[in-house]
Amino acid sequence: MASLVLKDINKYYTNTFHAVKDLNLTIDDKEFIILVGPSGCGKSTSLRMIAGLEEISSGELYIDDKLVNDVEPKDRDIAMVFQNYALYPHMTVFDNMAFGLKLRKMSKEEIQTKVNEAAEILNIKELLNRKPKELSGGQRQRVALGRAIVREPKVFLMDEPLSNLDAKLRVQMRSEINKLHKKLQTTFIYVTHDQTEAMTMGTRIVVMKDGIVQQVADPQTIYEYPANLFVAGFIGSPQMNFINCNLVEEGDKIYAIFGNNKLLIPTNKANVVKAKDYIGKDIVLGIRPKDLYAKADATFPNEESTFTARIDVKELLGSETYLYLKLDDIDLISIVQPNLAIEIGERIEISVDMNKCHLFDKDTEQSIL
Ligand code: ATP
């Protein structure tokens, strides 16, 4: 069990490339923290600095209030699970899991007990005598987790541990790692570029871009209140629709205007006063695909904020349908009920649930509402 404090941490590679910029983060004991962001944003570098595998250029890293910048990886009481599992190919599963314990000169009996306990938790007892090449990807992943578990570390670090697994197994392992976290009651820090993994696994998500933290919050908050355009576009699938608009005030109402279209900004939005600062200015309106409704849809909610768009592509996914819409030169996606009687090329009326809309400053890209 451990808490971590990352204070103004920076990483420069080759003295010039600034890979992680002023990273500040407090991770509580037993948290499941996800570092998420596109390739190259500095997630792995951050994790490796926590592990001690990468030197911290400046800033301070504390584990349980102890400054560990200069503490060797093996003395940090953390275990790391890598994307490629890093199992020893010539050793059995048992020996792979026991390896770290043998180095610590633990007794044979104790090693046996710990490996068996971990194998029980991970459901790999029957695999203990096999070599890694005799295992499936999912089983290898479990062994890699097992090797970390037996060490009973204070912190588990995982770097894209599921990325080599097929889609179905990934979903299964996602929930197994979640259960493991609950069972072990230990701090987990997990790196992924996959927003679905981030949303389904973490108690808190750290969204990164270009070495800079964009937002830190629980999954629901990140989804409902993205701090900026990047987070709004990165989290959520299919991604949020963005429309460049101008805000205008008519009487006591505020509208977002684009082309000949006009959408009413609801006055019940908590921060509507802030939107007033943007009257006459260009903003970006964000609407999630599920908040764009086709008129033909039984759930059409709003007669006031509508526009017409052409259906470019229709993707039937069984439980729902994605409509790819074209409105002048704007591309939009709407999620609608399956079996809607509308065809590609048709122009349909779209209604927007403006209570769910997001507004962003066009220059700073920060959220306004
Ligand atoms: P990915 O999802 O692709 O693994 P990431 O977010 O984990 O990406 P990092 O591996 O942390 O990204 O890399 C951050 C940046 O630092 C990248 O631009 C990368 O090219 C650079 N980088 C990483 N390791 C080194 C290194 N040893 N020397 C120089 N630059 C490096």
Q: What is the structure's pLDDT at 184? A: 87
Q: What is the structure's pLDDT at 175? A: 87
pTM for this entry: 0.91
**Contact by Cβ (8 Å): 361, 368:** yes
- Tell whether ligand 1 has an atom less than 6 A from the beta carbon of residue 40: yes
Q: Kindly report the backbone phi and psi dihedral angles of residue 228, in degrees, each rounded to the nearest multiple of 5, phi listed first.
A: -155, 175
State which residues of the chain have pLDDT below 70. 1, 268-274, 298-302
Q: How far apart are CA 274 and CA 277, in angstroms?
A: 6
Q: How far apart are CA 242 and CA 284, in angstroms?
A: 6
ipTM for the whole complex = 0.96
Q: How far apart are CA 263 and CA 305, in angstroms?
A: 5
Residue nearest to atom 10 of ligand 1 (CA): 44
Q: What is the structure's pLDDT at 194? A: 92
Question: pLDDT tens for residues 349-366?
Answer: 999 998 889 999 999 999
Residue nearest to atom 1 of ligand 1 (CA): 39
> CATH homologous superfamily for 241-361?
Nucleic acid-binding proteins (2.40.50.140)
Q: What is the structure's pLDDT at 152? A: 86
Question: CA torsion angle for 240, 243, 248, 250 (degrees, to 10)?
Answer: -70
Domain ranges of the chain: 4-234, 241-361
Q: Under CATH, which number does the domain 4-234 receive? A: 3.40.50.300
On the CB side of 236, CA atoms within 13 Å amount to 24
To test ligand 1's pocket by mutation, which of 18, 41, 189, 190 has the most ligand atoms within 8 angstroms of CB?
41
Nearest ligand 1 atom to the CA of 54 is 27
